[in-house]
Amino acid sequence: MNLLVSLRPEEDFLRFDVQGQWQYNDALALAYHVKAVAVRERMGRVLIDVRGVTPSPAVEGKFLLWDRLRRVMSERFKIALLAPVDLIDLHARPIEGMASVVLFTSDRAAVHWLEGMAAAIKNPVAIKNPPVFRSEGQVAGKET
């Protein structure tokens, strides 16, 4: 993998900051790396910030991270992907038992969504997903 990945554990989720030039197969390698760390740390909520990633000159197309995360991670994972919309491939490929991956362009909205997921798990009655943040994620990408 040609990307530099740093991990910062937060209170309710893991935060990955990714930088570098991506090449083919980096999305799959990154997805498996995130899964290994999340399983080891026993965390089901993950924020992946790929705003520092740029395509290599030899690469054509979009970064397939959204699809690879959905395929690699199980349905118990909730992943906030923080990225520019034009970098990520967002074509839906329906597969049973996929992780919930939501694309955000705002750090604040992504963190709020993950914290809302943590609150919902701790207290199932208080499921809070404000429409403002939810619609921002849906406008930026697709939610599964």
pLDDT (tens digit, 9 = 90+) per residue, 9-48?
888 899 999 999 988 889 999 999 999 999 999 999 999 9
Give the three-state DSSP class for 143: coil
How does the average pLDDT of the chain come out, rounded? Answer: 80
pLDDT of residue 23: 86
User: Of the given ranges (6-10, 83-87, 116-120), which has the lowest mean pLDDT?
Assistant: 116-120
Q: Identity (one letter) of the amino acid at 130?
A: P
Q: How far apart (Å, rounded) are the C-alpha atoms in residues 33 and 27?
A: 10
> Is 60 exceeded by the pLDDT of residue 127?
no
Q: Which fold has domain 4-140?
A: Transcription Regulator spoIIAA (3.30.750)
pLDDT of residue 3: 87
Rg (C-alpha) for the chain, rounded Å, is 14
Q: How far apart (Å, rounded) are the C-alpha atoms in residues 93 and 47?
A: 22
Q: How far apart (Å, rounded) are the C-alpha atoms in residues 122 and 12?
A: 11
**Domain spans of the chain, in order of start:** 4-140
For residue 79, what are the β-bridge partners? 46, 101
pLDDT of residue 94: 62
